[in-house]
Structure 1
């Protein structure tokens, strides 16, 4: 073992019962990770979010937990993946299978219980080997809005845990013809590799056009012990063309095409229990194509203030390779799957005296095709079908009403109903002859906000939501290590939940804070259970409960100085079996300080997690860890060009640690050690 790496590791043990955990969680944290500075001035004290209600609403006036990550935060963080930045939001934890294909867990729920959107359109794909949040180049992101829990009726099945909406960069209409663009170049030492991006837009009073492209590459990284994490490399390319035309003062149309291609993406972990037959797992390709057409009508002098029709097509291709088998007759396997989604969404905004109503309908069809080519050591090739050819059609209607009861009181009511129709063509052990499955589900919420005394406000929300089991949970049959098999259950019932949250907010000029307490009661919770000597089967747990608390604070204690911190505590129980739920994030948070002096800024912070001992009987416990990050930057104007420089070091002490949440497939790997990075962005 590398002694310096071991000594640098932050070994602290925190054992906190629920009551003390909730009290400790109500301590410190920033409403946002580190605010964007411009010339030394802090901007956006109270972020405005659109995802929660479908209309712009201040975060502090939105019942339920929300979080926002900006373009500047992503770029300055030096993060390899978007979940690393999202994990700065209290209640959001990074999880997943590799640095490139990591995901997030929100308040104890992840993967299929969290809806991922890109420009408002759902990403449908398998989450057995993840990669949803890598389906967009993070340099092409304008902002990310996170809803923590089922606090909006706009998004149907799967939003029990929350919603992550990735909003990409767009052009804008201008009074005169203008040309704008930006280019960025970044490099890091661990993982080592370049990151390039650029965009160019042309605009006028009635049109805008924009194109962007990017490429990045990362070699396998080294952990805090100096050991190379084999098969953790990645490479991807991104391209986008978008444009909009304003037909009249009331009608405009936007069309965009997005393309992302991932190549040779390694999933580290060696021969850990989740990797099939001790093989190395690599996504040799992971591609996404997306076309979106949005027409918006904004009539004047009418109760209807906006009506939009959003049509989209999305195709995701995933092509893993499993090789280097150490035992058995298999030489390699090459599974493949395509996920094609067609979506139509009609949304309307009406303003009726004290009421603002958002209502509409949505239809989407997710079609999945999968195959697996298997080569034996004897040279015999065969084909398997891990999941039958299947489709899932969802038809839904939704409505929300923001009702101004009094100057200081706002009531938000929302509801949604969905009809789900699932078909499969058979061909697997789980579903030999094919079949159909139909579900009709509903969800709703009631949220109340009271402005006690500006800038203080309190809010409460109660919600009911659901999650229909998806194609994989119903029909999959996947070979794991040691001869184990994971299979679906066509008779799974939809998950249902009842959710409650109480929050206190302060959105002041020098002090911002957010405090929340929440409880989530789940019925027919879907998980996997060992049903035989060599079989795991997806099953419904009768009752599960998740409780938690979060606190964030950001304090401008002197001119140009800001202190910030956050903490989040979550506890989840399988009440049916009397055990802890799997993959519940431990007590965690961050604390830091930043200063801006004119065009120069710097920050130092520590991100940490306590040990996790509340695991399932067969689960692995998690150790505590802490890392220190430091970064600085400078911006300047040269003619019409704005230059922004950032230098940073993540994991400054080279701590050697494992993230408890990054073990969803039994994979065990250590997080990256010290990483120095630099980036330069120029815009005009």
Structure 2
């Protein structure tokens, strides 16, 4: 029996695909994987009985459910594989709690949006504006205080009913990484409460020209959702090319009390990832993604009147980035990454208020950035990351309101927000010191940012004209008085963020970690300047908003035995100048001196807010067949000055799952998702009852047919057709039941 040893360092992150080159076919061999988790070392073993594929399963750490496939090639000289460092958001730069949704988890279940997948993780709760338009709340902090990334490129768009997460194709992902806590020290403003990074799947270089790919199709019964995806990968020693595409169409969703009108959606995407390594220790990586959705229903919300029918006519996202990576530049500089990207998100909305009034908002957001990050290793116990980043967001919006008076159509041109830009330049450093090997480790980091915000003047209305239905080309423009909502201005701000982590290993299998950090978030363009008038509740920005600041702390304990894993977290986050919508009177004056007052939700700084909570995750491998997974999350948020509860705080919730594994045949699981009653609500919010829903899923192993394979998936969600509400949907004015029973099937053909 031949043994191969590889050292791989990673921190709670799914490993990429690794290739082992051997002199001959390795039947019945043992593969030895040695890896480090926050300084500790654990040992995993895997054996393979086939000459071409070896499946590696992690028996020591149960948080990793993936199988890693290692291709073994005949008659290839052995190649020495050095230490491999996994690069990504969870590559060890922060000790704050991390969650990861692997490609296996995404494939085995039937998630409509990324928020559906993330809500099963500790500390994360889904918020909903529709079936397609969903987002997440992390430890009581909603999307305004979270930073969304695609391959670490900023995903920025309007923060109100924007559904940025839903523009990511889950079929193209390798994993979803989440930092639960202040990530500002690495990512700057926006990362105050957490970071969600979507990592696109990339192939690996191979010694010969190879072709891999798959086609899969699925069906969901609750909304007649048809989903199709195809992927093709061409790989060689010095280059690779990956192409993928998806298409989905869905009707109105069914709840236990009937279908929800206007909850349909359609979307499609395609992408290209390429890599080239013609020079030793250097790589060029290129990535392009296009996503488009159309006829996406928004069933309701406080921003719209009850009679309105609202939909996204079209949503598009385009991303292009290029990255050049240098490895082993000197004995100390281990890696240097240079990256540039641009991402464009456009939205066109149709709001049919009633038979006489229609509103058509649209927006276009372009974010471009550059980034350079270097990883230094002076000794095995002293490591330093230095980086700099600059990005620019350019936002333009418009809104057309059409009113049918019976004899003519009156058209009003408006601006939801003025044309505005945000520029940011930041530098950051992260130092890691293992001052007592295998026992104590210290991480510390700091980031400095300069931000510049500029905006044009915004008037309401911008213009007005009318036309007769029988002759729409003949427009009659009117000279109307305009009201100045926001005057042209420029603001400059400096900010800093810092953190320190202390990690202690009392034994090889236990870890205690204390993290303390401060964080900073500049108000978004929408919070400063928005004027959202969709014939429902008026929502208005505030140019005088102060930046949010806060102190974050987290204490965690981890125990990882051979077949048992438990992790607990306790956190306390103190924020001041927190930005929230408050009921008030909005006053503006037109050019003729006429003063208008309207009731509105106005963005306001709350002086002090405190978030307290805890999380627990447990995984237990009872025997080679059965395993159990359970988690629990609790958050409480209070306005300290007013001694009231904060809005949009999720209830205590969790997951319990029993899993069955039949080697080389199939895997099955039965799970329960639950949430307690949320009665600790802010003034004006409604409490929601708790719920308990049961799900089941089954998926086969790969049935090999020569070099091809087939795989099947099936499952049932909300098995007992339970009627319940999502608390964070009700706080946003969406008084709709969650989906009822859903049966799904999926098939995959690969090669």
TM over 0.5: yes
Q: Deviations over 1:583-627 (max 9, x none)?
A: 101010011100101121110010000111111111111111111
Q: 1:626 aligns with which of 685, 692, 717?
A: 692
SS at match of 1:452: coil
Q: 1:248 aligns with which of 279, 283, 286?
A: 279
Q: 1:367 aligns with which of 382, 394, 405?
A: 394
Name the structure 2 match of 1:548: 613
Name the structure 2 match of 1:338: 364
Name the structure 2 match of 1:459: 513
CA distance in 2 between counterparts of 1:535 and 1:172 reads 54
Name the structure 2 match of 1:642: 709
Name the structure 2 match of 1:666: 733
2:93 maps to 1:66: no
Name the structure 1 match of 2:21: none
- Alpha-carbon shift at residue 518 of structure 1 (Å): 0.2
Q: 1:521 aligns with which of 552, 564, 574?
A: 574
CA distance in 1 between counterparts of 2:329 and 2:600 reads 61
The residue correspondences of 1:46-445 to structure 2 (distance < 5 A) are 46=63, 50-52=87-89, 55=91, 63-151=95-183, 153-225=185-257, 227-269=258-300, 272-276=301-305, 278-325=307-354, 331-353=357-379, 354-378=381-405, 379-407=409-437, 408-428=439-459, 431-445=485-499
The alpha-carbon distance between structure 1 residues 49 and 172, as it changes in their structure 2 partners (threshold 3 A), is closer
Q: Deviations over 1:209-230 (max 9, x none)?
A: 11111101111111122x1111
Name the structure 1 match of 2:25: none
SS at match of 1:171: coil
Q: Which is further off, 147-156 or 576-585? A: 147-156
Q: Deviations over 1:284-327 (max 9, x none)?
A: 1110011001011113442111111110011100111100427x
SS at match of 1:678: strand
SS at match of 1:405: strand
- Alpha-carbon shift at residue 576 of structure 1 (Å): 1.7
Q: 2:62 aligns with which of 20, 35, 45?
A: 45
Name the structure 1 match of 2:504: 450
- Alpha-carbon shift at residue 454 of structure 1 (Å): 1.8
2:534 maps to 1:505: no
Name the structure 2 match of 1:26: none
Structure 1 gap ranges (5+): 1-37
Report if the CA contact (8 A) 1:572-1:580 is conserved. Answer: yes
CA distance in 2 between counterparts of 1:240 and 1:223 reads 34
The alpha-carbon distance between structure 1 residues 432 and 573, as it changes in their structure 2 partners (threshold 3 A), is closer
Name the structure 1 match of 2:24: none
The two structures, once aligned, show a CA RMSD in angstroms of 1.8
Name the structure 1 match of 2:18: none
SS at match of 1:153: helix
Name the structure 1 match of 2:40: none
The alpha-carbon distance between structure 1 residues 137 and 465, as it changes in their structure 2 partners (threshold 3 A), is same
- Alpha-carbon shift at residue 439 of structure 1 (Å): 1.4
- Alpha-carbon shift at residue 283 of structure 1 (Å): 0.7
CA distance in 2 between counterparts of 1:679 and 1:278 reads 37
Report if the CA contact (8 A) 1:102-1:131 is conserved. Answer: yes
- Alpha-carbon shift at residue 250 of structure 1 (Å): 2.0
- Alpha-carbon shift at residue 480 of structure 1 (Å): 4.8
CA distance in 2 between counterparts of 1:231 and 1:290 reads 29
Name the structure 2 match of 1:495: 548
The alpha-carbon distance between structure 1 residues 620 and 607, as it changes in their structure 2 partners (threshold 3 A), is same
CA distance in 2 between counterparts of 1:576 and 1:430 reads 33
CA distance in 1 between counterparts of 2:670 and 2:528 reads 47
Q: Deviations over 1:153-181 (max 9, x none)?
A: 21111112100000011122112211111
- Alpha-carbon shift at residue 46 of structure 1 (Å): 5.0
- Alpha-carbon shift at residue 277 of structure 1 (Å): 7.0
- Alpha-carbon shift at residue 84 of structure 1 (Å): 1.2
Q: Provide runs of 4+ in structure 1 moved above 6 Å.
A: none
Q: 1:607 aligns with which of 655, 673, 696?
A: 673
Report if the CA contact (8 A) 2:303-2:533 is conserved. Answer: no
Name the structure 2 match of 1:566: 631
- Structure of greater relative contact order (alpha carbons < 8 Å, 6+ residues apart): 1
Report if the CA contact (8 A) 2:183-2:193 is conserved. Answer: no
Q: Which is further off, 460-469 or 374-383? A: 374-383
Name the structure 2 match of 1:486: 539
CA distance in 2 between counterparts of 1:289 and 1:103 reads 20
- Alpha-carbon shift at residue 278 of structure 1 (Å): 3.8
Report if the CA contact (8 A) 1:40-1:596 is conserved. Answer: no
Report if the CA contact (8 A) 1:487-1:535 is conserved. Answer: yes
- Alpha-carbon shift at residue 453 of structure 1 (Å): 0.9
CA distance in 2 between counterparts of 1:99 and 1:359 reads 41
SS at match of 1:380: strand
CA distance in 2 between counterparts of 1:305 and 1:431 reads 52
CA distance in 1 between counterparts of 2:165 and 2:564 reads 32
CA distance in 2 between counterparts of 1:520 and 1:373 reads 42
- Alpha-carbon shift at residue 344 of structure 1 (Å): 0.4
Name the structure 2 match of 1:25: none
CA distance in 2 between counterparts of 1:156 and 1:608 reads 34
Q: Deviations over 1:543-586 (max 9, x none)?
A: 00000000010001122210111111100001122111001010
The alpha-carbon distance between structure 1 residues 540 and 499, as it changes in their structure 2 partners (threshold 3 A), is same
Q: Deviations over 1:358-377 (max 9, x none)?
A: 11110000000100011102
Report if the CA contact (8 A) 2:216-2:228 is conserved. Answer: yes
SS at match of 2:171: helix
Report if the CA contact (8 A) 1:273-1:480 is conserved. Answer: no
SS at match of 2:659: strand
- Alpha-carbon shift at residue 421 of structure 1 (Å): 0.5
